């Protein structure tokens, strides 16, 4: 633990000492992606106290304004960051797996290793940096986990999605320890090994360690939609979603935004490598590395004609056109409309929805019925971002529909030391607190003395509760 911290601090010092390469760095980079690989988090009591003061209407209005304010350090596609932030929230939440409850956006751990360096999270360091001004403005009242989900939820709402509820109260973590089991880490390799990355099985969530979803090109880059459908079902079931919600989330997520694969160049170094070399993460090898030159997953194009509007064109075009595969400018297999000059694209994972009877039936329904699609997406988005993987909830949690998420606050299943009782009272007085610290120190010393006399190594410093 100490060695890891010292290494992180050394990387941070290197980054600060060495000038970053040409690309402009967004001002909040180090706050959204800390070189130290950790960040202070408020106590449960401090967070609950601050959360009570959060003006939900004000922060939602501020988020809408932020999304429409394109910055030169990372220009917004179509003049709005909405789709970019939808991806941020989706990927922060989609790491959850129900097999052991690991993952999800609770804790705001996408800021830390290993999640921040996953290939699927390429360029999301910019999204987190762009959100930092709101974190500064609202302080402890707005956790990083809530900030990420608010960004995505606001993006969909502004695009026209009838999302009925946004809840605040996810407590933040100070590091990414609770994500270690997601991999790629020594812990994941020991507890949940994957012999062939790309063919991972349950209880791991994704088929590929480092991806939130599935390989969009197809299993092991094989553009076979039928095989991809099997991976889609495995992955989404592992996250807790049924077939209807799976189709709603895929089509809803691709109703807005575009893919980025401007050329065959790489996206740049992930944070874990970049910080060691003293450069900024994900700078890209295509031209300026941003705007029209952006490379993320390597697939180029939008899914719909209006990438800032939430509608069901994704499903309509999927069923009414013939699609054929081709190699896109990023060098990967993707799909376009056969015999058309349209630049709309589909991924093999999108096409998979036509090669599974259950999925296809839902696609056809949503293509005909916008209301059914909207309702399913609202339910699925709430499950993705709130029901699953939202971590420890503050007793002061609240939702913008006037309700209190009591089931989330009181649920018993948490990870390790997730549950931290919060008293609705001021912290202990200095005298009481001092006595408590002395008593605790005495107990720890006694425990350590006893263990040392039972053969426990003298440098053993962590006590598990």
Give, in order, the Cα–Cα distances in Å from 36 to each of 9, 112, 289, 322: 5, 9, 25, 50
Report how far residue 102's alpha carbon sits from residue 220's, in angstroms, rounded to the nearest whole number.
Answer: 25
Report how far residue 398's alpha carbon sits from residue 306's, in angstroms, rounded to the nearest whole number.
Answer: 33
Q: What is the rounded radius of gyration, in angstroms, for the C-alpha atoms of the chain?
A: 23
Based on the residue annotation, tell me whether 91 is a catalytic residue of this protein.
yes
Structure tokens at 242: 């049924």
Nearest Cα residue to 1 out of 37, 30, 33:
37
The one catalytic residue in 91, 254, 260, 336 is: 91
| Alpha helical stretches, state H, 181-292 | 186-191, 225-239, 243-253, 271-277
Residues 6+ apart with CB under 8 A from 254: 303, 304, 314, 350
Structure tokens at 29: 């980079």
Q: Render 76-131 in DSSP notation, one character per residue.
A: PGGG--HHHHHHHHHHHHTT--TTT---SSTB-GGGSTTGGGSGGGTTHHHHHHHH
Report how far residue 281's alpha carbon sits from residue 284's, in angstroms, rounded to the nearest whole number.
Answer: 9
Q: Is 268 left (phi over 0), alpha (psi -120 to 50) or beta?
A: left
Residues 6+ apart with CB under 8 A from 83: 77, 155, 256, 257, 258, 307, 308
Report how far residue 344's alpha carbon sits from residue 367's, in angstroms, rounded to the nearest whole number.
Answer: 17
Nearest Cα residue to 344 out of 298, 315, 310, 303:
303
- The residues annotated with a catalytic role in the active site are 91
């Amino acid at each position: 633990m100490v060695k890891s911290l010292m290494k992180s601090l050394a990387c941070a010092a290197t980054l600060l000492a060495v000038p970053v390469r040409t690309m402009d760095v967004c001002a909040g980079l180090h706050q959204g992606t800390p070189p130290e690989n950790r960040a202070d988090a408020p106590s449960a009591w401090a967070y609950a106290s601050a959360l009570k003061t959060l003006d939900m209407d004000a922060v939602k209005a501020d988020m809408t304004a932020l999304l429409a304010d394109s910055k030169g350090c990372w220009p917004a596609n179509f003049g709005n960051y909405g789709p970019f932030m939808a991806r941020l929230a989706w990927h922060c939440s989609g790491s959850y797996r129900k097999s052991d409850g690991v993952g999800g956006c609770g804790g705001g751990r996408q800021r830390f290793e290993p999640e921040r360096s996953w290939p699927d999270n390429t360029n999301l360091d910019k999204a987190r940096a762009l959100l930092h001004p709101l974190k500064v403005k609202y302080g402890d009242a707005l956790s990083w986990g809530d900030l990420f989900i608010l960004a995505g939820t606001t993006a969909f709402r502004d695009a026209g999605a009838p999302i009925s509820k946004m809840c605040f109260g996810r407590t933040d973590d100070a590091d990414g320890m609770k994500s270690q089991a997601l991999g790629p880490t020594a812990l994941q390799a020991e507890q949940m090994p994957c012999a062939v990355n790309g063919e991972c099985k349950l209880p791991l969530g994704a088929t590929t360690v480092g991806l939130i979803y599935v390989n969009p090109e197809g299993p092991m880059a094989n553009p076979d939609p039928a095989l991809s459908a099997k991976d889609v079902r495995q992955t989404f079931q592992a996250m807790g979603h049924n077939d209807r919600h799976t189709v709603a989330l895929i089509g809803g997520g691709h109703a807005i935004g575009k893919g980025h694969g401007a050329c065959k160049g790489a996206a740049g170094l992930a944070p874990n490598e970049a910080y060691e070399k003293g450069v900024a993460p994900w700078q890209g090898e295509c031209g300026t590395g941003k705007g029209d030159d952006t490379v993320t997953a390597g697939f180029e194009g939008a899914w719909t004609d209006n990438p800032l509007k939430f509608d069901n064109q994704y499903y309509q075009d999927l069923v009414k056109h013939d699609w054929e595969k081709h190699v896109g400018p990023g060098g990967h297999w993707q799909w376009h409309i056969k015999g058309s000059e349209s630049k709309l694209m589909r991924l093999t994972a999108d096409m998979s929805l036509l090669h599974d009877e259950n999925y296809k039936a839902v696609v056809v329904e949503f293509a005909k019925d916008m209301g059914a699609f909207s309702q399913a997406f609202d339910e699925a988005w709430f499950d993705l971002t709130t029901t699953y993987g939202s971590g420890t909830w503050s007793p002061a949690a609240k939702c913008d529909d006037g309700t209190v998420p009591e089931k989330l606050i009181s649920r018993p299943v948490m990870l390790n030391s997730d549950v931290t009782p919060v008293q609705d009272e001021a912290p202990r007085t200095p005298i009481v607190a001092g006595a408590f610290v002395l008593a605790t120190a005495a107990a720890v010393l006694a425990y350590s003395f006893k263990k040392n006399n039972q053969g426990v190594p003298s440098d053993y410093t962590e006590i598990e509760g």
